[in-house]
């Protein structure tokens, strides 16, 4: 994606530039995980969400998905939301997405990826990251929340280690016969 397609028209140019500098290495990291599964769905633009929209959405185009765009509400206090949305381009062409027993884990994987990227890019100190960590050890909350709860189960299963998460991602996509709910205890 070109810089001109990244949050064009956003009034706060400083915030746009910060988000761009965060986006580029995280997109490359998410794409690198596709080398072992199927293919990456290219993100062609990131645009500003309208007031009635949510904070972030990943929108695909075509069947099967040919390209995607991210609708984002740029905020200084929640820059990591873009990390979650980027990982949708990894998940939605993976074997796990096409496996009916595991497809519902998409947002959990996106939040797990966000956790690791926030740790690496933002030092793990955002309000979102602190809230995410409150799910560690709270099994009832983990079971009920397909975003942070399931994401925290994935992170804990990998001992908070990003290299283990990457191996887990690759292994689960090679052998998806065992439901993630069985592996992760839901």
pLDDT tens track for 149-172: 999 999 999 999 999 999 999 988
How far apart, in Å, are the Cα atoms of 20 and each of 25, 33, 130? Answer: 9, 20, 23
Sheet holding 43-48, edge to edge: 43-48, 67-72, 56-61
Our count of domains for the chain comes to 1
Kindly report whether the peptide bond that precedes residue 186 is cis, defined as omega within 30 degrees of 0. Answer: no
- Cβ pair 7, 48 in contact under 8 A: yes
Q: How confident is the model over 96-149, as pLDDT tens digits?
A: 887 766 778 899 999 999 999 999 999 988 999 999 999 998 888 888 888 889
- Which of 48, 52, 58, 59 is CA-nearest to residue 6? 48
In this structure, is the dihedral angle defined by the CA atoms of residues 40, 24, 32 and 85, taken in order, positive or negative? negative
CA 26/CA 56 separation, integer angstroms: 16
CA 64/CA 43 separation, integer angstroms: 14
Q: How confident is the model over 35-54, as pLDDT tens digits?
A: 765 678 999 999 999 888 88
Q: Which domain holds residue 159?
A: 3-184
Whole-structure pTM over 0.85, yes or no? yes
CA 60/CA 94 separation, integer angstroms: 14
How far apart, in Å, are the Cα atoms of 128 and each of 77, 84, 131, 135? Answer: 9, 12, 5, 11
């Amino acid at each position: 994606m070109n810089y001109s397609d990244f949050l064009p028209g956003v009034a706060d140019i400083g915030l746009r530039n910060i988000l761009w500098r965060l986006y580029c290495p995280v997109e490359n990291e998410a794409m690198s995980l596709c080398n072992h599964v199927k293919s990456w769905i290219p993100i062609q633009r990131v645009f500003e969400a309208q007031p009635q929209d949510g904070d972030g959405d990943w929108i695909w185009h075509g069947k099967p998905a040919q390209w995607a765009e991210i609708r984002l509400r740029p905020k200084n206090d929640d820059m990591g939301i873009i990390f979650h949305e980027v990982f949708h381009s990894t998940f939605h062409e993976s074997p796990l997405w096409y496996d009916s027993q595991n497809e519902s884990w998409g947002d959990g994987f996106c939040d797990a990826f966000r956790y690791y990227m926030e740790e690496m890019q933002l030092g793990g100190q955002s309000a979102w990251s602190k809230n995410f960590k409150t799910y560690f050890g709270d099994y009832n909350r983990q079971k009920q929340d397909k975003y942070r709860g399931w994401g925290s189960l994935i992170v804990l299963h990998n001992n908070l280690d990003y290299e283990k998460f990457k191996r887990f991602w690759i292994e689960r996509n090679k052998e998806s016969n065992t439901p993630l709910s069985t592996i992760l205890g839901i």
